[in-house]
Amino acid sequence: MGKFKITLIILLVLLLAVGWYVSAGYYSKGERAGTISKLSEKGYVFKTYEGVLNEGGYSGETGTLQPRYWDFSAKEDSVVDKLRNAMQTGERITITYHEKFFIFPWNGDTEYFIIDVDFLPKPQQPIYESVPVPAQPQPALPPSTTDSVRSTTIRPEAI
């Protein structure tokens, strides 16, 4: 009977460890860049923030711009504050995320769980140097026209 209890306890601890790892662990880590399109708090019991990242994009097949949207979940207050700031300012960000094994209610609605947000540097405006514009040669007027123009010119001293 004693060996049965020890085996049962070991099995229970092993199941709890596997359950915790599947719930809290991840099998993929990555980064994505874009602008935040949506951020909302969801859940009845377990509150998480659900958002959409607009990655932008260019389709090589059609030669057009087609936005790509990516759904994610976030829970930490510091991450949510950065996401709110990025959405309000419209700045481009890089999101670091973990991809979970399964979707659990306490982790959010997606498999992608945000762990960090970095603001991308703002693109610098190109500096155009002033380039001197060469003077355009004026077409020569015929001599008869030149004389009549000279005679009708008003000199400042005459006024």
Residue pLDDT, tens place only, 115-127: 999 998 877 776 6
- 147 occurs within a structural domain: no
Q: Would residue 52 count as lying in a domain?
A: yes
pLDDT of residue 136: 76
In a domain, 4, yes or no: no
Single out the residue of 74, 24, 80, 33 nearest to residue 53, CA to CA: 33
Q: pLDDT > 90: what percent of the chain?
A: 29
What pLDDT, in 10s, does the model give residues 125-147?
766 666 666 777 777 666 655 55
Question: Within a domain: residue 146?
Answer: no
**CATH assignment of the domain containing 109:** 2.40.50.140
DSSP secondary structure letter of residue 118: E
Beta partners for residue 42, in sequence order: 48
d(CA 38, CA 93): 14
For the chain, the domain total comes to 1
Asked if the structure places residue 158 within a domain, the reply is: no
Looking at per-residue confidence, does 150 or 108 come out higher?
108
Q: State residue 61's pLDDT score.
A: 65
Chain mean pLDDT for the chain = 80
Please check the confidence at residue 106 and state whether its pLDDT lies above 80. Answer: no
Which 8-state DSSP code applies to residue 44? S
Q: Is the pLDDT of residue 70 over 70?
A: yes
Asked if residue 101 belongs to a domain, the reply is yes
Residue 72 placed within a domain? yes
Single pTM value for the model: 0.62
Range of the domain at 115: 24-119
Q: Kindly report, residue by residue over 8-51, the tens digit of the pLDDT.
A: 899 999 998 888 777 777 788 899 999 999 999 988 888 889 99
For residue 155, the model assigns a pLDDT of: 58
Predicted confidence band of residue 68 (pLDDT cuts 50, 70, 90):
confident
- Is the C-alpha dihedral spanning 81, 82, 88, 89 positive or negative? positive
Residue 96 resides in a domain: yes
